[in-house]
Chains A and B, each alone.
Chain A
Amino acid sequence: MKRDDVIRMAGAEVCAGNAQVISIPAGELRRTAEGLRHDRDVPMDYLRDIVGMDWGEEGLGAVYFMESSATGGRVALKVAVTDRERPLLPTMSDLWKTALVKEREVFDFFGIRFTGHPDMRRLFLREDWKGWPLRKDYDMDSNPLRLDNETNADTTTEYRLLPDGTLAGTAHPVFGENDFVINIGPQHPSTHGALRMRVALDGETVTKVDPILGYIHRGIEKMNESLTYPQTLGMTDRLDYLSAHQSRHALCMCIERAAGIEVPERAVYIRAVMDELQRIDSHLIFYSCLVLDMGAMTPFFYGFREREMILDIFEETTGGRLIQHYNVIGGVQADIRPDFCRKVREFTAHMRRVIRDYHDIFTGNVIADTRLKGVGLLSLEDAVSLGCTGATGRASGWANDVRKRHPYSVYDRVDFKQVTRGEGDSFARYLVRMDEILESCHIIDQLIDNIPGGDFRAKTKPVIKLPEGIHTAEVETSRGEFAVIIESRGDKVPYRMHFRSTGLPLVHAMDTVCRGWKIADLIAIGASLDFVIPDIDR
């Protein structure tokens, strides 16, 4: 089945907005999805996201964003169910593994149960949370601050719709009776944030990883529904703080595209340079954290030494180091400092020089080799099915760089290589990122001397309203595809704003990747997947 076949289907219609979402009847969802997933020529094997929505009168529902890893062709399906008391949708988890976690997110926020999903627990909120917070009729006072401990259920429920229309549940135990379960987190040196993984062990061997998320969930998507568009920008820097520029770039781009705002060329260049600097910054932290998690403390300081130079450059122009708030709708906040270009040039030259030290101390090291090579294999098929974008997917041989597949900004005009490897092990994930540092330097070198003059910010109306419909934009952040999905009803505030988390599929992949490896590998694999917690929890 192709996109055109879906459009021709009875009851299908293309919704407004640049996302080209096709609305289909809920009864047709499963058949359509199977058709798209198993298409002979262009299978939609990458499920980008499932976005839960509450359309009010129209009912509750979800939008499924799919893409073909081979061609980059995209389809988005929208389904709605009118039953607010017992909303049910069929699961997609047997078609795309990433649906296992995405459907739990939708369930958590909208209360839509997915029949056939083997693990229908809440994802971010505590299990005894009352109500479904992203529904429009949610009572904001229904969950006062609780000071009692959260308990985790031992079993999880799979729902099935019986022929007579009743719902039956089957309980599955999360862990076996004889599993030795240890908690990695929520406070742990190597989770890089407040992430908790319940890990079942057989001796030292990992038999199951069950991530428990939401320890720093701030409800950013809910907050955005009451903020005007310029105000929503403040949130994106706080998602993946190592991709602050890029995430904000995506949101600005989404609003600009929907509102038809032309960004001055100067701002486009500055944004691209900042994005690439941010990518180097993030990959330097990746290097530092990976080596630190493996017990080598010295190279850790190398990474931070060079990162400091980037932060100084950021600070001079944007005023911020970690959270910069630099992109604004229509351009950037302020013009670059006079010596910005010189410093960036000096930095890229310096980076190319010192990266040899990084490799000298770590890459050829016999212990590093045995700890990383062949460890934590993620097959190409799994990487796509789990939606592991970014360097993690590229290390498994999936050419998924948004900058190449769906070029935005200046990326169709600069020369750079998409680094991919085929091994899919921790070592490949490490090398891909190290090579990407050099590619980013290469991109910056092409841009930095050619930043055009002119305005750095387009004039925008004082109140920005987006036309009705579903709008999206996506960028390649430091750790994968980050997408912004805005449902607008023509107001100055979004009706719903969703961010595709880059880290959620990665942390979900931990279970697949870590099984059969040791605890020490779990830590190294976690570092090599490179997720950032605030981005997962949002």
Chain B
Amino acid sequence: MFLDYYNFEPLLAGIHAALCGVMPEWAALTLEGLAVGVAIMLMYAVLAVVLIYMERKVCAAFQCRIGPNRVGGKGGLLQVPADVLKILTKEIISLNRADRFLYNLAPFLVILASILTFSCLPWNKGAEILHMNIGIFFVLAASSIGVLGILLAGWSSNSKYTLIGAVRSGAMIISYEVSIGISVLTMVVLCGAMDIQTIVAGQADGWNIFKGHIPAVAAFVVYLIAGNAEANRGPFDLAEAEQELTAGYHTEYSGMHFGFFYLAEYLNLFITAGIAATLFLGGWMPLHVAGLDGFNAVMDYIPGFVWFLGKTFVIVFLLMWIRWTYPRLRIDQVLTLEWKYLMPTSLVILLLMTVCKVCGLTF
């Protein structure tokens, strides 16, 4: 069977069996859980470093600059690790008249939402971390916790800038979740499954964006716009809007508390792109063209996680391109765009997709 060269399942099953051989199963499961947890954290941190470095280089390229080029050799490779070390050593300032508990809780809620969603990404065949039959639904639900953190951060800081930032963010993210939900639903209709691995496996004979043709492409565009807004990135970065609100909802945070917001922002970008890659571009699934068996076999030699990361980073680049090109929208324009254009459009797309599916017009 194709696809099996890089299947992680036998390897993981082997490790599990070996561990059970030397210890009781509950101990083996606990140990595995811990190992996977550490692995997620590590991957999360490493990816954040990679993404920040990428953003710096990409935006430098757009802005006719070089970007970081001093720290750590020619490409400035150690610039981001140096910055991470610096932020780790910085003092976490406690505010005088802030709501201390909520103020300290908020960054953890944001990072929790981000890590939960991150764990659902299909890295490779047999390498999913959180696997459940309503996986995509879980992603939508878990990502909504993030906005709670932002709202709490803005509210508890007891500052007018943060409050305005938080209220903007709340209004915007909750609005755009509607569009995201509907465009995800469109793809669920196409796949007939909510389980992420099933969705990916269903694209073995062609990615969804080809299988669902017109409605799928439209849903992809809607998803990218709404996903950009969900990730709080330009031109939808109103919650931060440094030119208006200095730093929006996280104005009053310092040190690693600020670092968590920063980290979550970049990982949310990655997650948005990763879900887009999963739903529309086949996740870890190599490019297959029905009928061309030789071609498909060659493609299969490229490991699934390379495919997944490749697709995700292409979308990340696309989102960065948008961010570094457009000016920021205004809050009423953002909401107008969502409620008057994007949401009705996504409903029409959903209808179209359902009709296509019922009439057998999809591939």
Which residues in A have some Cβ–Cβ distance to B below 8 Å? Answer: 180, 182-183, 188-190, 204, 291-298, 300-302, 305, 361-362, 365, 367-368, 370-371, 518-523
Contacts and interface: CB of A to CB of B under 8 A. Distances in A.
Contact of B327 (A180, A182, A302, A365): A365
Given A189-B246, A292-B243, A298 B330 contact: no
29 contacts: A182-B161, A182-B164, A189-B246, A190-B243, A295-B235, A295-B326, A295-B327, A295-B328, A296-B234, A296-B325, A297-B324, A298-B324, A300-B63, A301-B64, A301-B65, A302-B64, A365-B327, A367-B235, A367-B333, A370-B330, A370-B333, A371-B327, A371-B328, A371-B329, A371-B330, A518-B330, A522-B244, A523-B243, A523-B244
Given A301-B64, A370-B329, A518-B332, 20 more contacts: A180-B160, A188-B246, A189-B242, A204-B331, A204-B332, A292-B243, A295-B234, A295-B241, A295-B328, A296-B325, A296-B326, A297-B324, A298-B59, A300-B63, A305-B64, A365-B326, A368-B327, A370-B330, A519-B164, A520-B330
Nearest to A366: B326
B8 interface: no
B108 to A, nearest CB: 28
B295 interface: no
B363 interface: no
A189 B328 CA distance: 15
Contacts of B238: 520
B65 A291 contact: no
Interface in B54-96: 59, 62-65
B177 interface: no
B265 interface: no
A367 B243 contact: no
Given A291-B327, A298-B324, A190 B244 contact: yes
B319 to A, nearest CB: 15
The 4 nearest A-B residue pairs measured at CB: A295-B328, A296-B327, A294-B327, A301-B63
A295 B62 contact: no
B252 interface: no
Given A371-B329, A520-B330, A297 B244 contact: no
A101 to B, nearest CB: 25
A295 B237 contact: yes
Contacts of B164: 182, 204, 519
A494 B245 CA distance: 44
Contacts of B330: 370-371, 518, 520-521
B65 A189 contact: no
Contacts of A301: 63-65
Contacts of B327: 291, 294-296, 362, 365, 367-368, 371
B330 to A, nearest CB: 4
User: Interface centre among B59, B65, B325, B330, by most A CB within 10 Å?
Assistant: B330
B63 A297 contact: yes
A188 B161 CA distance: 11
Contacts of A182: 160-161, 164
Contacts of A293: 243
User: Interface centre among B160, B327, B328, B330, by most A CB within 10 Å?
Assistant: B327
B347 to A, nearest CB: 23
Nearest to B330: A520
B62 A294 contact: no
A297 B244 CA distance: 14
Interface in B157-201: 160-161, 164, 168
A345 B171 CA distance: 52
Contacts of A521: 330
A182 B164 CA distance: 10
B331 A367 contact: no
Contacts of A519: 164, 244-245
Contacts of B326: 295-296, 365, 367
B331 A518 contact: yes
Nearest to B234: A295
A530 to B, nearest CB: 15
A305 B62 CA distance: 13
Nearest to B247: A189
A185 B137 CA distance: 44
Given A295-B235, A297-B63, A519-B164, A367 B328 contact: yes
Nearest to A519: B244
A56 B120 CA distance: 82
B331 A520 contact: yes
A518 B161 CA distance: 14
Contact of B59 (A295, A297, A305): A297
Contacts of B328: 294-296, 367, 371, 520
A182 B246 CA distance: 12
Nearest to A362: B327
B262 to A, nearest CB: 17
B204 to A, nearest CB: 39
A182 B328 CA distance: 21
A122 to B, nearest CB: 25
A190 to B, nearest CB: 5
A309 to B, nearest CB: 13
A519 B243 CA distance: 10
A190 B324 CA distance: 19
A293 B327 CA distance: 9
B237 A298 contact: no
Interface string B27-71: 000000000000000000000000000000001001111000000
A365 B322 CA distance: 12
User: Interface centre among A180, A182, A362, A367, by most B CB within 10 Å?
Assistant: A367
Contacts of B63: 297-298, 300-301
A292 B243 CA distance: 8
User: Interface centre among B160, B168, B243, by most A CB within 10 Å?
Assistant: B243
Contact of A295 (B64, B243, B331, B332): B243
B26 to A, nearest CB: 53
Contacts of B234: 295-296
User: Interface centre among A291, A295, A297, A522, by most B CB within 10 Å?
Assistant: A295
Contacts of A302: 64
User: Interface centre among B62, B161, B328, B331, by most A CB within 10 Å?
Assistant: B328
A208 B100 CA distance: 33
Contact of A294 (B243, B246, B325, B331): B243
A292 B324 CA distance: 11
Given A204-B164, A365-B326, A520 B244 contact: yes
A180 B329 CA distance: 23
Contacts of A188: 246
Contacts of A362: 327
B239 to A, nearest CB: 12
A367 B329 CA distance: 6
Contact of B243 (A180, A189, A370, A518): A189
A365 B62 CA distance: 17
A115 B59 CA distance: 56
Interface in B331-355: 331-333
A139 to B, nearest CB: 40
Nearest to A289: B243
Nearest to B161: A182
B163 to A, nearest CB: 9
A366 to B, nearest CB: 9
A298 B234 CA distance: 12
Interface string B271-314: 00000000000000000000000000000000000000000000
A36 B62 CA distance: 56
Interface string B242-265: 111110000000000000000000
Nearest to B235: A367
A297 B325 CA distance: 8
